[in-house]
Amino acid sequence: DAGVIQSPRHEVTEMGQEVTLRCKPISGHNSLFWYRQTMMRGLELLIYFNNNVPIDDSGMPEDRFSAKMPNASFSTLKIQPSEPRDSAVYFCASSFDGQETQYFGPGTRLLVL
Amino acid sequence: DQQVKQNSPSLSVQEGRISILNCDYTNSMFDYFLWYKKYPAEGPTFLISISSIKDKNEDGRFTVFLNKSAKHLSLHIVPSQPGDSAVYFCAALYGNKLVFGAGTILRVKS
C-alpha cells in the first residue's frame, strides 16, 4: 500500500533556475496539500487542492510559486525563478474528505545556491 | 501570529518513564487536534488525534488530553521507549487546513 510519493527527494539548483517538485497522493484521496518546512517558520501550508481544484493558495509566498493538479494522481509545485531563501523541505500530503488525518510524503529537500 | 504553540523545544526522558508534551492554541474555532511524529529525513507521521468535543483519547501507550477552557492539549507517552525519540508536532484543524506548532524534540534515554 503505497503512501504519498514525492520526487525528487533532493534537489540542488542555482539561483534563477526553475524547480519542479512532484507529488503522487494516496490513491482514492481527493485532497492534496503542499507544505514548506523551514527553521524560521516551521511547517506552513502553501496551497491545497480538493478534487483537483485549488481551494486556498493564501500560503503561497509570491508569484514565483505556482502549483497545479492536472489529475487526481499528480500534482506539481513550481518555483521560477528560484532564490536561496526558497531553500527548505517541501512536503506533500493527502487526505480523504471527511477524514481529519493528512498523510505526508517523505519530502523534497531543496537547496538553492 | 502563532496560533499553535509548543513552548518546549526539547524534552529528555528516561526509558520507561512518562513523556509529556504540551501544546497551546489561541483560536477557539479549531475543531480537531492531531499529533504527528517525525523522524529525520522522513515526513510527519500521524500519531493520535482528538475532537474538540472530547477531553481524552487513548491509543496504546499514547494518550492525548484536551482542556478547552485553557486552550491546552498534551500528549502522554507511557512507558517511553528509545524508539519514541523524534520530533513531535501538535497540529490544529480548521476546516481543511492544518496549523502546526514548531515541534518538540523528544529524546528517550536508555
Q: What is the tens place of the pLDDT at every residue in A79-94?
A: 999 999 999 999 999 9
State the smallest CA–CA distance between residue B89 and chain A in angstroms: 9
For residue B98, list chain A residues with Cβ-Cβ distance below 8 A: 33, 45, 102
Q: Is the pLDDT of residue B35 over 80?
A: yes
Question: Nearest-CA neighbor of B108 among B76, B89, B85?
Answer: B85
Among the partner-chain residues B41, B43, B96, the one whose CB lies closest to the CB of A104 is B43
User: Which domains are seen in chain B, by residue range?
Assistant: 4-109 (2.60.40.10)
Residue B29 Cα distances to A1, B50, B101, angstroms: 35, 14, 16
Please list, in sequence order, all residues whose beta carbon lies within 8 angstroms of the beta carbon of residue B87, skipping any fewer than 6 positions away.
B37, B38, B39, B103, B104, B105, B106
Question: What is the radius of gyration, based on Cα positions, of chain B?
Answer: 13
Check CB contact under 8 Å for B97 and A103.
no
Question: Which residues of chain A have a pLDDT value below 50?
Answer: none
Q: Is the pLDDT of residue B2 over 80?
A: no
Q: What is the mean pLDDT of residues B64-84?
A: 97
Which of B2, B7, B32, B97 would you mutate first to test chain A, the one with the most A CBs within 10 A?
B97
What are the tens digits of pLDDT across the range B46-65? 999 999 999 999 999 999 99
Tracing cell 468535543 back to the chain, one arrives at B53
